């Protein structure tokens, strides 16, 4: 579908808006990836003492908040703005609403970064407001179409609440300063389990079927998958409230093992030759690894650092999965072939190697800060490549399209 016809196809009249305002995923994917790069560079520099961040938040708290609610908030919004019209048949958001929506996200990011100047309460209102606007948009479209994806709305509302709680914690209004971050982590992990469990076996089955290889098709979602998601959601809720409880740690180990079994049922090795499909399996593998490390960090803290577990989930599962989804979605929604070129494979390799090095940093015979800098460089390289390659795809018409 060309840029000139997209607006008319979705029921709009008149000339189409500029290509970069035809669907908010274009700016949100590009801006989100650029922001992730900026956040990591600023945080690593602040950690090494190279500079002081102009935020009123504790630097570590700002880093965690911006990766969870800033970067991932943009990716979730971009994904839903592209997916909901396909789910519901409703019009794509285009034109000035896109500019206003993305502008609200950007304003929240800048307000938080410069919250020594901007009142922290205003920054919080912009930040939570973005997620509430996303919830309102999604709810309107899903209810108008009587679509079945209503559980997504619950997660979005809880994510906005977690964001607000994290701001309250930064202002000293909660007894536990990390409860908002844990809630955000729990919700994103649940989203990966929900959406990953839907798209990974489906995309793998479709690819294998096109190859004529119907003997090793993945097992589609069934009662086992629903039980795994339920156990994981309850376990993560308990972890949010009691992160140091040993019974919760054992539940985290059980959840991690269940997700490993779930992943094994999706025939990932059969799709090894298609990077766009195989990377989804690699990305999801970080989920059981992270849950197992998280449980182990509670039970055996002297042997397994909590930072390794959190980065397996954050730098691993969340970052790798979002890059895998963003590359595929950008290609699909801009009329490009669903094929991973060399640069795309390099993006996947860099983000996973960066995550692996960051998780392993405490165990390596290297200077810890050197290992973190190397991990940050690899990981940031993946996002820089995404911005340079996929940002151009998203913000420019496909070859041969005059729009």
Tokens found for residue 288: 């059981």
Work out the percent of the chain whose per-residue pLDDT is above 70. 96
Query: Residue 10 pLDDT > 60, yes or no?
Result: no
Q: Greater confidence, 2 or 244?
A: 244
CB 202: neighbour CB atoms within 10 A? 14
* Nearest-angstrom CA–CA distance, 372 and 152: 35
DSSP secondary structure of 225-291: HHHHHHHHHHHHHHHHH-TT-HHHHHHHHHHHHHHHHHHHTT-GGGGTT-HHHHHHHHHHHHHHHHH
Query: Residue 151 pLDDT > 90, yes or no?
Result: no
Query: Residue 3 pLDDT > 70, yes or no?
Result: no
CA distances (Å), 46 to each of 305, 347, 372, 386, in order?
21, 25, 12, 24
Q: Given this model, what pLDDT does residue 402 score?
A: 54
Identify the band that residue 396 occupies on the pLDDT scale cut at 50, 70 and 90: confident
* Coil, helix or strand at residue 402: coil
Query: For 272-390, where are the alpha helices, taking DSSP H only?
Result: 275-299, 306-311, 319-333, 342-360, 368-385
Among the residue ranges 13-17, 223-227, 273-277, the one predicted with the least confidence is: 13-17
Q: Greater confidence, 91 or 4?
A: 91
* Nearest-angstrom CA–CA distance, 75 and 89: 21
Q: Given this model, what pLDDT does residue 289 score?
A: 98
CA distances (Å), 254 to each of 62, 249, 303, in order?
31, 9, 19
**289 and 316 Cβ atoms separated by less than 8 Å:** yes
Instruction: Give the mean model confidence (pLDDT) for residues 85-97.
Output: 90
Tokens found for residue 370: 């050197």
Q: Given this model, what pLDDT does residue 111 score?
A: 97
Helices 96-113 and 120-144, axial angle in degrees (round to 10): 150
Q: Greater confidence, 331 or 14?
A: 331
Q: Given this model, what pLDDT does residue 12 score?
A: 44
Per residue, the 3-state secondary structure of 222-233, as one string, reads CHHHHHHHHHHH
Q: Given this model, what pLDDT does residue 148 score?
A: 87
The pTM score is 0.92
Identify the band that residue 403 occupies on the pLDDT scale cut at 50, 70 and 90: low
Q: What is the dihedral sign for C-alpha 292, 297, 303, 308?
A: positive
Q: What is the DSSP letter of 21?
A: G
What is the phi/psi pair of residue 257, to 5°? -65, -40
Identify the band that residue 400 occupies on the pLDDT scale cut at 50, 70 and 90: low
Maximum Cα–Cα distance across the chain: 64
Q: Which residues contact 35 (CB under 8 A, 6 or more apart)?
A: 66, 70, 71, 74, 109
């Amino acid at each position: 579908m060309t840029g000139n016809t997209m607006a008319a196809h979705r029921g709009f009249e008149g000339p189409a808006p500029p290509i970069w305002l035809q669907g908010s995923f274009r700016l949100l994917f590009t801006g989100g990836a650029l922001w992730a790069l900026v956040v990591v560079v600023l945080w690593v520099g602040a950690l090494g003492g190279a500079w002081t961040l102009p935020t009123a938040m504790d630097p570590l708290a700002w880093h965690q908040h911006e990766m969870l609610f800033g970067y991932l908030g943009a990716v979730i919004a971009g994904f839903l703005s592209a997916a909901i019209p396909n789910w519901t048949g409703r019009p794509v958001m285009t034109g000035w609403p896109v500019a206003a929506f993305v502008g609200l996200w950007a304003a929240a990011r800048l307000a938080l970064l410069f919250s020594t100047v901007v009142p922290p309460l205003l920054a919080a209102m912009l930040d939570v407001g973005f997620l509430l606007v996303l919830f309102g948009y999604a709810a309107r479209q899903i209810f108008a179409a009587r679509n079945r994806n209503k559980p997504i709305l619950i997660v979005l509302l809880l994510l906005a609440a977690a964001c607000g709680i994290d701001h309250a914690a930064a202002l000293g209004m909660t007894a536990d300063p990390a409860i908002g971050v844990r809630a955000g982590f729990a919700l994103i992990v649940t989203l990966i389990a929900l959406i990953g469990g839907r798209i990974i076996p489906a995309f793998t089955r479709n690819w294998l079927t096109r190859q004529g290889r119907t003997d090793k098709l993945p097992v589609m979602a069934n009662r086992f998958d629903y039980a795994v998601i339920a156990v994981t959601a309850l376990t993560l809720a308990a972890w949010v409230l009691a992160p140091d409880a040993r019974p919760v740690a054992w539940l985290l180990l059980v959840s991690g093992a269940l997700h490993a079994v779930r992943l094994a049922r999706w025939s990932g090795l059969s799709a090894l030759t298609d990077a766009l499909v195989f990377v989804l399996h690699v990305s999801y593998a970080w989920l059981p690894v992270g849950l197992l490390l998280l449980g182990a960090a509670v039970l055996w803290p002297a042997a397994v650092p909590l930072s390794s577990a959190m980065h397996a989930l954050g730098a691993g599962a969340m970052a790798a999965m979002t890059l895998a989804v963003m590359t595929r979605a950008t290609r699909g929604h801009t009329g490009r072939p669903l094929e991973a070129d060399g640069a795309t494979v390099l993006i996947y390799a860099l983000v996973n190697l960066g995550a692996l090095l960051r998780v392993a940093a405490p165990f390596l015979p290297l200077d810890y800060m050197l290992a973190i800098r190397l991990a940050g460089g690899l990981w940031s390289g993946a996002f820089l490549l995404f911005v340079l390659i996929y940002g151009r795809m998203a913000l420019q018409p496909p070859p041969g399209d005059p729009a």
